[in-house]
Structure 1
Amino acid sequence: MAMMHSFNLALRMLWRDWRAGELTLLLSAVVVAMAALSSVGLLTDRLQRGLARDATQLVGADLVISGDRPLNPDWAIQAQAAHLRSLQSVGFPSMAQVPGPDTENASGTSYPRSKLVSLFATEVGYPLRGQLKVADGSTERLIDPSKEPIQRGEVWVDAVLLRSLNLAVGQSLQLGEQQFLIRHEIRYEGPRGAGFANFAPRVLMRFEDLPKTGLLQLGSRATWRLWLAHQDSNESQGHLLALKQQIERALERGQRLETLENGRPEMRNALERAEQFLGLVATLAALLAALAIALGAQRFMQRHWDACAVMRCLGLSQQALAQILLLEFATIGCLGGGLGSMLGWGIQAALVSLTATLWQTSLPAPSLWPFVQAWLGGALLLLGFALPALLRLWQISPLAVLRRALPNRSARVGLAWLIAILLASGLVWSYAGQLKLAGIVLGAFLGGLGLFALVGLFVMQLIRYISARRLSGQPALSAFQRALNSIARRRQETALQIAALGMGLLALLLLGMTRTDLLDAWRAATPTDAPNRFVINLQNDQLDAFSAALRELGQRQQVNLAAPRYNPMIRGRLVTLNQQPILPEDYRSERAQRLVDREFNLSYSATLPQHNQLVAGKWFDPSAPQAELSIETGIAQTLGLKLGDTLGFDIAGTVVEARITSIRKLRWDSMQVNFFVIMPPHLLAEQPQSHLSAFYVPAPLANAVDNLVQLFPNITLIDTGAIARQVEEVLRKVTQAVELLFLFALAAGVLVLYAALLSSRDQRLQEVALLRTLGARQRHLQVEQYWEQAITGGLAGLIAATLAQGAGWALAHVVFEFAWQFKPWVWLIGGAGGALCGIGAGWLALRGIVSTPPLLTLRTMN
């Protein structure tokens, strides 16, 4: 019964406060918080699921199981029983040739028109996700594999194969014992990947035609795959997940699950940075929302302490007052949460609609989880950051009616602030997605609060000194002096305003700087002149001739063609670890077993490659008494290797041992040649080797360079431009997502600044009324107000710029891992921008104060 009475009283107070306009700021803060969380959550969810969906197009399915022998046929049967889409394929390197007599090259040597190809036999429907782009003559078009599959007796081939064998669409290609009609020229195939086995020119054929070729024999280095995709429903996704878990438990040696992470390493960095930056934007939005809630609750407390004190005088207990206030806030939270959620949904829908032309495919529909997450987050923020103000409010003594003073802050209020910080930390962690990113952002904000407090105390003392001196001259100087006096007079309010402005500006500056540097780092990773050709299997006596041929082509077409850098490659098998034999059975990880079971591509270099980064140890010392090697960090983690371990590689019957003295991190998105293991030249220079290189070919020379395989028939020339275009496409979409979320975070920051200034409106209204009663002119008061907001905003902007530089450096080096440079112009932008934001937000929040009749204001004062 008492609870119902409290609820009714809370509703009556809520209605009274609503009619009196008391809830405007608090409700607006809740709406802003919920709109920020829901819109960022919804947009981030849609973008991430859209990127994940597009990423599955790079894999070709939702799940791929691969193995070095035919897979368990029961898996395909179970997939069909679960109504999943599935198909089988097998791929392996083989020789393709042109039917007919041999051909003579420019030197008169006769050779068969043949080429090493990556043969890929698949059932109808490949790929299950994504499309293929083919060309019939000069016309390119996308093909839906479910509607236009590969027919029996035909093949689809890469353009480089047609050029190297001087073939055209409509002619025949010999594969083993069977001839096939070339139906299409492949221009784009997303799931191909970037492994060396897939770098040879691609030939697609029907799975049912493979036995006729006689190419697949016992001992063939073939990879069998089962491709699975759900039916785009929750039930079908559940069936796929259950089948995946079942297959994972039944995997044998030589079998694995292929995903974007382990199948497409060149895409890994781009997608990881995309997720990190989207998490950063959501984190900043959550902190801005918490700040808006705190400001709204502070003003609510200031406006209601008289009413609460009167109710306490009339006999209302503290427990009953607490129930009323909590019920009122819960109602505000539900109302603001509903309005904010609808506003957030509308904002993200409008942004997606306005930029629909930027996306080649539509984004997935919003899911329910971002709404739930926003409601939970908003409730935690409202509870956490309103609790300190509510505690002070329901602890008011009845004597507060006479004493006109708020109760002192107690230990409970301090504990409430601690709870609020912990709740905000948990929310930031959930939106950031990783502890490291959340820790850096929270550290910057908490450090900012402490720095704002220290600087605020110093500024108060400085302003006291300045305002004590007599300033004379123009009216602007008098207004400036009065502005300083006003700031010195309201120490707590000014410190709060500086903190609010500074936090908002810190979020905006940090987001803006990180966004710019992150995009620059992405573009630098895959520049316009990134390598788009790989050449493999060049012999020592062919290096000069190949360079001369490239140079001659460039001179003939008057195109600047940079000389390629050749990298030696030696094949070796890992056989010992610290002088002890190493076997695949020594490891439980399937990937570790495969690494030990196959040959490594080794190389040698006296200097660290430019696109490699040392993460541990030091580079080779020419005077070192022991043989040294450098290993890639991922391989080291997989095999459990560390600095000081000695590895032995069997190279053509000779075991070469060396000690690990450095661990490197590779940039897979650089499109450069990368090696897992590098040794000094004196260890490997005399071993049997071939050479490979990556270089950039301008478009006018593309066909001419690809035709060099006729002069060097033993080499394999690979067009990696399609892989670079995939990276570029993903980065383009991520860039657009970043820009959209940046604009929304900017709008959320402006709203927080408005809320900070609105919280001091009542006190300023009373001061202006008294000053005008004493004869102050309206115009002078207006100028004084602008000076005060400019000074406060400028100070907040300078502090925010300083913190943004430090936090930006930490994010660049610890989270995103890109180069960082301190930017002096940030202080100029922070100071000037803070002053302008202070003036603009001050005009918006405090407009009408100077023009309000003093008598109207004085009548409302007690």
Structure 2
Amino acid sequence: MWAKLALKLFSREFKRGELTVISAAIALAVLTVLTLSMVTDRIGQSIAQKSSAFIAADRVLASNHQLPTEYLQKAQEQSLRTAKITYFDTMLFAGDEMQLGSVKAVSDSYPLKGELKVKTRLTSDAIVTDEVPKTGEVWLSESVFYALNIQVGSQVELGAATFTASRVVAEEPDAPFNVFSSSQRILINERDIDATQVIQPGSRVFYRQLYAGEQSDLDTFYAWLKPQMKENQQWYGVKDRQSPIANSLNRAESFLLLAGLLGIILAAVAIAVSAKRYCERQYDPVAMMKTLGGSRATIRKIYLLHLSLVCTMSVILGLVIGYSLQMIASDYLAQSMGTELPSASAKPWLIAVSTGVICAVMFSIKPLLDLFDIPPLRVLRRNLGDRLLVSKIHLAMSALTVFLLMWLFSNNIKITAILFTSTAFLIVVLFGLSKLIFGGGRKLGLSPGNSWSLAIASIQKRANVNAVQLISFALAIKLLLFLIVLKNDMISDWQSQLPADAPNSFLVNITEAELEPITSFLAERDMPTSDFYPIVRGRVNAVNGELVAREVSLEDNEKKDEEARSGIGRELNLTWRAELPKQNELIDGTWFTENSVAEASLEESMLARLDVELGDTLTFLIGAQSFDAKITSVRKVNWNTLKPNFFIILSPDVLQSFPATYISSVRVNKDQKREFSELLRQYPTVNAIDVESFIKQIRSTIEQVSLAIGFVLAIVVACGALVLISQVQASLGERMQEIVILRTLGAKGRLIKNATLYEFLLLGFTAGLVAAVVSDVALLIVQKQMFELAGKLHPHIWLIGPAAGGLFVACLGYLMIARTMRKNTQGLLRSLG
């Protein structure tokens, strides 16, 4: 019986539009979360797949010792593609010429991701190949051909074997972005390693196993692999390596995650407001049912069924619209990126449905309980039940709901806690400010019959409602300003790191005698360079007289000295310099002076790695010579710049007596390539490292990320606008009553319209002002903590925020009630009835 009545009431209210507000809010939450989740998921997969080319695979297993072949067999059984790489350095001979080069022995399946480009002649264009050197063949980088003075097709000797130099290596997908690594690449087939007889006990060899496939298969394989991994083995992906592309990907991922979390907050606010408004509109029907003998249990069943039906319909509607929107957006983004986006996983669907159901239940349960407590006497005294206050339990439940939804979406408790706490603090501050601002309005001496007076009076009358509206407006504006400014700062930071004239090559191994003629050569041909840095190889041997632990060989069963101080188990590239490099920031201590003697400046991560502080003394070992240097400064280094950077810089007096080679970065335009090649022919011992392809891939990734960020931002802007609409909609009934009263008292239509416009203008201006200040302060924290950007204030948004907030809220609010104001008094009374 009650079910039949519930369905009739539901049908009537649905036709009257009573359920549209809460239905739209739930659908909004679902479609927002689904669209954001699916688009970010698909774009994230696309960027990750494209970026995997930087390591030629999805994942890499690295070791300085031989890796078991069982790993590859197991991976292949789990549908993963595999490849092998072996690195070692050796001499290459051609007639009377010789050259030290870096050998890269690859399996036939290399590379798993990315493209290998070669040239058939030194002067021909690079082409993509899906092959690797055949047995008996060797592919060499251009500089090796110049150093050995040979052409394609010449014979060269590598260890005990003779090879044909059949190709020129132009680009490797996994070329290391390390300017100190050898650019003298020698590419051979792994089946030729034994023939060279180069690898002997004690040889310095590096082994890599490459893996590619579905993420689920990779996760399954790693779960099997992890317990068997040794201390000298490392499993990593592209985002695990310290490089500009890894930093860009991590920043983009953090931004998309942040935007999604803020979108959830806005959607939750819309549902909370709409649920409370819907229940308030049901006070009179509930009172009527109680006077007609309806029991509390029957009424509870009726409205719980209504809630279930609304939730189901809204979730389905939100899923349909959200899926359609993400398809449209993904197609557009795919065309813009020039690639096909992968299919989204099941996670966005789960998160979207969970968001809709959880929001509908958790934000509606307390208003529904209040609805069931409406007294039957309300049919006679219409004000009974109007002042049911929001309980602490409801606030706690709502806060817990938002926190759980953010945690579900981000799967990161730290980011969730930071955003949730900052948002909660913002709400408390805004509520206090709203009380202060609206309370202060009573002291203004405004004349009767004035639109401004009527607007102030309306704000004072609905102080509590307007406080909630102000919080919602300010929160929405704050989040929008926050994301817009953060997006611009991120892209500006990326572009500043990679300007159009960024260096695209490095010159390494320049001797003192070659420094002046090479500098002149580049200057005469207008090839801009960074500073030339001297380099001496050395290691940190002791700290304050205490020896540091050296690198041990697990293969030779050497044991680590547990009592030795932690240090760096390899040689470092040391340099000296009188001035602080431009891409470095001094964060502690003082830089060298003319009178500095035996001083050292450390990069901040090196300071932590060595566990030292200012004033400590480091002992360096270069060959058989040792010397001490006192730490006098700490630097923050921007590793994303395409310029030489160093962990340790020494004062000029320390290293000037040691023989050194020099390094610099240079910008070579396309029409200068031949002249640059002539320089390499003149100085065959100088290594040139081309990073042009690396720069192109970084810029391509940044463009994709920028498109993704722009779309996500558009969704959040739309979500923010809908939150504002839901807030205005919530007060529409009360505003209709005021219009009827004012018209009855003889107020002119122009006075009412202006008063309404001014009221929204004041609310929007106040919300925009508070939002601008709070968002700017929050940006300082988030930029440093989450994005490693230089935090700075943005005074311009302190003007834009109030202006945009006042204009946007005023226009939006006025447009929403314009139809109401066009109705005559009789029509308004019928709508209220």
TM-score normalised by length of structure 2: 0.90
Match of 1:150 in 2: 133
**1:62 alignment partner AA:** D
Q: 1:794 aligns with which of 762, 765, 786?
A: 765
Distance 2:560 2:584 in 1: 29
Match of 1:105 in 2: none
Distance 1:758 1:576 in 2: 71
Q: 1:732 aligns with which of 696, 703, 709?
A: 703
Distance 1:402 1:502 in 2: 39
Answer yes or no: is 1:457 the counterpart of 2:453. no
**2:548 alignment partner AA:** I
Distance 1:516 1:318 in 2: 55
Query: CA offsets, 1:151-197, max 9 Å, x none?
Result: 33333343444566665555555544555444444443221222357
Match of 1:192 in 2: 175
Distance 1:395 1:643 in 2: 68
Partner SS state of residue 694, structure 1: strand
Partner SS state of residue 26, structure 1: helix
Query: CA offsets, 1:639-659, max 9 Å, x none?
Result: 555566554332222333445
Match of 1:296 in 2: 274
Query: CA offsets, 1:764-814, max 9 Å, x none?
Result: 223223434444444554444333333332222222222222222222233
Match of 1:532 in 2: 504
Does the C-alpha gap of structure 1 residues 316 and 116 become closer, same or farther in structure 2, counting only changes over 3 Å?
Answer: farther
Distance 2:566 2:331 in 1: 47
Match of 1:651 in 2: 622
Distance 2:220 2:435 in 1: 62
Q: 2:191 aligns with which of 184, 208, 220?
A: 208
Does the C-alpha gap of structure 1 residues 259 and 327 become closer, same or farther in structure 2, counting only changes over 3 Å?
Answer: same
**1:707 alignment partner AA:** E
Distance 1:641 1:409 in 2: 63
**1:195 alignment partner AA:** N
Distance 1:712 1:238 in 2: 48
User: Is the Cα contact below 8 Å between 2:505 and 2:667 reproduced in 1?
Assistant: yes
Q: 1:579 aligns with which of 538, 545, 556?
A: 545
Answer yes or no: is 1:522 the counterpart of 2:494. yes
After TM superposition, list the pairs within 5 Å mapping 1:148-187 onto structure 2: 148-162=131-145, 169=152, 174-176=157-159, 178-187=161-170
Partner SS state of residue 820, structure 2: coil
Distance 1:446 1:239 in 2: 39
Match of 2:211 in 1: 228
Match of 1:241 in 2: 222
Distance 1:623 1:549 in 2: 31
Does the C-alpha gap of structure 1 residues 620 and 787 become closer, same or farther in structure 2, counting only changes over 3 Å?
Answer: closer
Answer yes or no: is 1:337 the counterpart of 2:315. yes
Match of 2:330 in 1: 352
User: Is the Cα contact below 8 Å between 1:34 and 1:374 reproduced in 2?
Assistant: yes
User: Is the Cα contact below 8 Å between 1:772 and 1:854 reproduced in 2?
Assistant: yes
Answer yes or no: is 1:769 the counterpart of 2:747. no
After TM superposition, list the pairs within 5 Å mapping 1:561-572 onto structure 2: 561-572=527-538
Does the C-alpha gap of structure 1 residues 329 and 296 become closer, same or farther in structure 2, counting only changes over 3 Å?
Answer: same
Query: CA offsets, 1:536-583, max 9 Å, x none?
Result: 22233432232223223x2xxxx3x33541222222233334433333
Instruction: Count how many residue pairs are aligned between Structure 1 and Structure 2.
Output: 824
Partner SS state of residue 30, structure 1: helix
Does the C-alpha gap of structure 1 residues 724 and 6 become closer, same or farther in structure 2, counting only changes over 3 Å?
Answer: farther
Distance 2:695 2:474 in 1: 41
Distance 2:714 2:415 in 1: 21
State the 1:379 CA deviation: 3.0
State the 1:122 CA deviation: 0.9
Match of 1:64 in 2: 60
User: Is the Cα contact below 8 Å between 1:440 and 1:811 reproduced in 2?
Assistant: no
Match of 1:368 in 2: 346
Match of 1:122 in 2: 106
**1:572 alignment partner AA:** G
Does the C-alpha gap of structure 1 residues 395 and 587 become closer, same or farther in structure 2, counting only changes over 3 Å?
Answer: farther
User: Is the Cα contact below 8 Å between 1:770 and 1:854 reproduced in 2?
Assistant: no
**2:221 alignment partner AA:** L
Answer yes or no: is 1:468 the counterpart of 2:446. yes
Distance 1:457 1:814 in 2: 32
User: Is the Cα contact below 8 Å between 1:448 and 1:800 reproduced in 2?
Assistant: no
**2:783 alignment partner AA:** A
After TM superposition, list the pairs within 5 Å mapping 1:260-275 onto structure 2: 260-263=238-241, 265-275=243-253
Does the C-alpha gap of structure 1 residues 805 and 238 become closer, same or farther in structure 2, counting only changes over 3 Å?
Answer: closer
Partner SS state of residue 194, structure 1: coil
Does the C-alpha gap of structure 1 residues 782 and 166 become closer, same or farther in structure 2, counting only changes over 3 Å?
Answer: farther
User: Is the Cα contact below 8 Å between 1:629 and 1:679 reproduced in 2?
Assistant: yes
Gaps in structure 1 of 5+ consecutive residues: 103-111, 472-477
Does the C-alpha gap of structure 1 residues 435 and 673 become closer, same or farther in structure 2, counting only changes over 3 Å?
Answer: farther
Distance 1:682 1:652 in 2: 18
State the 1:443 CA deviation: 4.5
**1:205 alignment partner AA:** I
Match of 2:459 in 1: 487
Gaps in structure 2 of 5+ consecutive residues: 553-557
Partner SS state of residue 767, structure 1: helix
Match of 2:472 in 1: 500
Query: CA offsets, 1:636-692, max 9 Å, x none?
Result: 555555566554332222333445555544322112212222333333333343322
User: Is the Cα contact below 8 Å between 1:163 and 1:707 reproduced in 2?
Assistant: no
TM-score normalised by length of structure 1: 0.87
Partner SS state of residue 376, structure 2: coil
**2:714 alignment partner AA:** L
**1:272 alignment partner AA:** N
Distance 1:840 1:767 in 2: 20
Partner SS state of residue 49, structure 1: helix
Distance 1:197 1:821 in 2: 34
State the 1:126 CA deviation: 0.6
Distance 2:445 2:274 in 1: 31
State the 1:506 CA deviation: 1.3
Match of 2:360 in 1: 382
User: Is the Cα contact below 8 Å between 1:134 and 1:187 reproduced in 2?
Assistant: yes
Q: 1:509 aligns with which of 466, 481, 484?
A: 481
Distance 1:192 1:22 in 2: 63
State the 1:296 CA deviation: 0.4
Query: CA offsets, 1:572-621, max 9 Å, x none?
Result: 2333344333334699899x999744222222334443323456x42456
User: Is the Cα contact below 8 Å between 2:141 and 2:184 reproduced in 1?
Assistant: yes
Query: CA offsets, 1:53-89, max 9 Å, x none?
Result: 2232211123322233332233333334444322222
Match of 2:235 in 1: 257
Q: 2:46 aligns with which of 43, 50, 56?
A: 50
Partner SS state of residue 274, structure 2: helix
State the 1:517 CA deviation: 0.9
Residue identity (%): 28
Distance 1:638 1:781 in 2: 69
Distance 2:753 2:155 in 1: 86
Does the C-alpha gap of structure 1 residues 405 and 791 become closer, same or farther in structure 2, counting only changes over 3 Å?
Answer: same
Distance 2:647 2:443 in 1: 65
Distance 1:589 1:740 in 2: 54
Partner SS state of residue 260, structure 2: helix
Match of 1:695 in 2: 666
Question: Once superposed, what is the RMSD of the aligned Cα atoms?
Answer: 3.4
After TM superposition, list the pairs within 5 Å mapping 1:665-680 onto structure 2: 665-680=636-651
After TM superposition, list the pairs within 5 Å mapping 1:771-786 onto structure 2: 771-778=742-749, 780-786=751-757
State the 1:635 CA deviation: 4.2
**1:574 alignment partner AA:** V
Answer yes or no: is 1:132 the counterpart of 2:116. yes
Partner SS state of residue 380, structure 2: helix
State the 1:228 CA deviation: 2.3
Query: CA offsets, 1:460-519, max 9 Å, x none?
Result: 345444463257xxxxxx444433443333323333332222222111111111111111
Distance 1:791 1:412 in 2: 26
